[in-house]
Structure formats: C-alpha cells, structure tokens
Amino acid sequence: MSQKKTNQKTSLVKSRFQIPRGMKDILPEEMPYWQWVFEKAKNLLEYYGFSRVETPILEKADLFYKGTGKQSDLVKKEMYLLKTKESGEILALRPEGTLPIARVYCQYGLFNKPQPVKLYYFGPFFRHEKPQLGRYREFYQLGWEIIGENSPVLDAQIINIGYNFLEEIGFKNKEILIYLNSLGCEKCQNNYLTALKKYYRPKLKKVCSNCRERYQKNPLRMLDCKDEKCLKIKKEAPSPLDFLCSDCKNHFQMVLDYLDSLKIDYYLDKNLVRGLDYYTRTVFEFNIKNHDSKMAIGGGGRYDGLLKSISRIDKPALGMAFGVERVIEALKERKISIPKKEPEIFLIQIGQPAKKEALRLIEVLRKNNIEVRENLAKENVKNQLEIANRLGVKYCLILGQEEINEGMVIFKDMTSGIQENLPIEGIEEFLKRRLKINNQ
C-alpha cells in the first residue's frame, strides 16, 4: 500500500471513532488539576470527620422518580435509562449524588450509628442536556452530605467547608461569592407557592414556554429560569423569606449568625431555589467572580424530607456539591498554577546488560522513595540526555557496559556538568543525602 493510501486510511479511522457528544477525555496534561482538587478535598473533608463512600454508577430509576418527583426536568428530560435483559428492570445512570447517598444511609442502617453521619464522594454522573462550557453529559461532582441532625450550625459548617475548599485550591476571598436563601418547610412552601402562582397568573403570556409549563406542574422552578424575558418578571416575584414560619425563620437567622461569626461574606437571593425539588429551608450557591461576570460552580442545601420519601426513615439532612469541571475551568482562567512533584533524577542506560541493571536499580530507588524517570526503550545517550533536559532533572545516573563490569554508575550533575563514578551498591543512600542537601 502506498504512503498516500495509508495516510488516508489512518485519517478515516481517526474521524470515525471520536468521543460521544457531551463527553470529555481527561488527558495527562490536565490530570494534575484533577489530582490537586481531589487531594485537597480529601484532606479537608477527612479533617472535618467525613468518610468517603462510593455508590454504583447504575441505580434503580425509581430512586430518582420518588426522590426528585416525576415532574422535575431531571426525570423528564435528562436521565439516561436502560432496561435489564433478565427482569426488565429500569436502571438509570446516576444523574446526581445525594439520592444514592441517602439510599446507602437507609439500606445499611447508618441511622443506628452516632448521628450525624458525614459522608463524601467524588465521581462521574450523567445527564442528557445541551453541552456547554464547563457542563458535559458525563460530569464529575465532589460532594459531601451530613445526615441525621437538623441543627442550623451544620448548615453553616457545610458552607464553611465549601468556602475553605475553594481557598485551599487557590481562589481568593474576593473571588468567592456565596448566595443564600431559605425555602422553609413544607407548610411554608405551600403558602409561598400559592402566592407565587397568584403573582405569575396574569403574566403567563409574557414568560417563556418552559415557564408556562412549570407554572402548572412545578412553579418553584420558574424562579430558576434564565430566559431573558423571564428575568425581569421574576425580579418582582414574592420572596419565600416572607412566608417562613417562626421555626424556619429562626433556623435561617441562626445560620446567618453562625456565618457572621466565621466572617464569611454572603448575599441573600430571594430567587435562589436550586435545581431539584427535594430542598427545604437553607439553600445556597457558590459562584466564582471573573471581572464583570460570574460562574456558578456548586451549591446545595437542606433536604429534610428526602429520606422519608424513599424509605420509612425520617431523618433531616443537608449537603452540597461542586462541579469539578467548572472548578477546574475557573482555576485555568485565573492561571492558578498547580504544584507538581517533578523528578530530580533520570536514569540513562546503554546496552542489554545495562537495561537489566536499570530495571533492578529502579526498584531499589522506588522502595527508598526516590523518584526517578527513564526511557528504557532508547539506546542512544544523546537522545536520553535530551529527554532528561526536557524534564529539567538535576541529576543523571548513567549505566553502560563498562560500569556494569566494574559495579559502578556515573553520577552526573546536570547544572555543573561534573561527573563522578560511584558504586552501584548503596547508591540510594548517596542520593538521599544529596537530595536532602539540595532541598534544604
């Protein structure tokens, strides 16, 4: 086959097999951001007493029907569903993280443990919606939940952890915007919805078609609409804060008092409702400010009635989650550098005996926690030195036939160019001392 035909065939294969729409590959050069976000979150959350839990990517679809309501956009438009061959059972690719955690709490009797139970998760979720910057059909969430207590101090703590996490990964105080609202209990919400529908009734011809549909089935979602012609109308809508019962009003005031004591800035937003129907009382959203614009990157709130809707367990709960892709996008926009642990040593080898010794030496260094890089497939010294220079290593170890015969290794300082012959046996102790001096 000619070179021209080979290239055409390769090009055809590349264009035929591409990632599905709305999905995203995480490439090696981007992975440090993901590792940075996860490690910072892990250390912070475990300090606050959270334990990590992993749930299956597939859940029974009925879990989301009961938990979020059959009229929610998530259930009606966004879930990926499949039917099992054996029983015909309907399963869903998990579209959010709270309901699987609630299931775990009920299924494994975590209500018998000391309360509250604190759990966190990090993993992929799936929603069939229009892809856009920072929003994919497969997306990752970092979330944490507190189940079993209704104290307002927990509302403040979960917001504080979110704030601390953003500071830990590199965002500045003035860039972090926190918006707060309270939707009240079921009784408060019923009274508020009556007033909301009364307000919107004469304006239905002026709102978008989606809001006209929501008015009939889910009027609270009208406050979440981003359509231009709906924005002005919802500004004058009644506030749920005006319909709070005394208990809900006191709860929310205590949340604000706790946040004030932590000196955390926040903004009250009467139109903040979140995207799912199970929220009660406190709801909040985190945004990152960028010049004159802002980007929502996460949020959460209380869901005191959720567990009862999927089980016989009636326990209060709250939680929050960050969209990892959006967090990383915001980090990149600010050119926040991610610390990288770069290798300081490169191992060069020439010839088959040297490759065998290199394999052994790599394991010796690994067991002594000394990071080393190599390219065992290369034979040429010049090529290997070029790789070492690109990596920016400080030192090279060079093994050739002569060094193998004498039980020696060449140690090369890449800055000064000075080389010295050292015994292979015990080279790890020499390197430890040199690296320690170099890093002081």
DSSP, res 20: P
CA-based torsion, 216, 217, 223, 228: positive or negative: negative
For residues 333 and 293, give the distance between their C-alpha atoms in angstroms, rounded to a whole number: 12
Cα pseudo-dihedral 424, 348, 374, 432, rounded to 10: 40
Q: Dihedral sign, CA of 253, 255, 257, 263?
A: negative
Q: In this predicted structure, what is the pLDDT of residue 34? A: 94
Residue 347 C-beta-side C-alpha neighbours within 13 Å: 27
What is the predicted pLDDT for the residue at 212?
Answer: 87
In this prediction, residue 8 carries a pLDDT of 47
Helix (H) or strand (E) run with residue 234 in it:
helix 228-235
> b/e per residue, 356-370, with b = 16+ CB within 10 A?
ebbeebbeebeeeeb
Tokens of 147: 């189940």
Distance, in Å, from the CA atom of 239 to the CA atom of 322, rounded to the nearest integer, reads: 26
pLDDT mean values, one per 10 residues, the chain (440 residues): 47 68 89 94 97 96 85 79 91 95 96 97 91 82 96 97 96 94 93 90 88 84 84 88 95 97 94 84 93 87 94 95 94 85 88 92 92 90 91 92 92 92 93 76
| CA neighbor of 343 nearest in space, from 284, 414, 416, 254 | 414
SS3 (DSSP) at 206: helix
Buried b (16+ CB within 10 A) or exposed e, 209-222: eebeebbeebbbbb
pLDDT at residue 1, as a whole number: 43
Biggest CA-to-CA distance, the chain = 94
**Domain 345-439 annotated CATH 3.40.50.800:** yes
224 CA to centre of own chain: 23
Instruction: State the burial class of residue 256 (Cβ atoms within 10 Å of its Cβ: 0-12, 13-18, 19+).
Output: middle
What is the pTM for the complete model shown? 0.86
Residue 63 CA neighbour count, 13 Å, CB half: 25
The CATH architecture assigned to 19-185+245-333 reads 2-Layer Sandwich (3.30)
Would you list the domain boundaries of the chain?
Answer: 19-185+245-333, 345-439
Rounded to the nearest 10°, the torsion over CA 79, 85, 86, 90 is 10
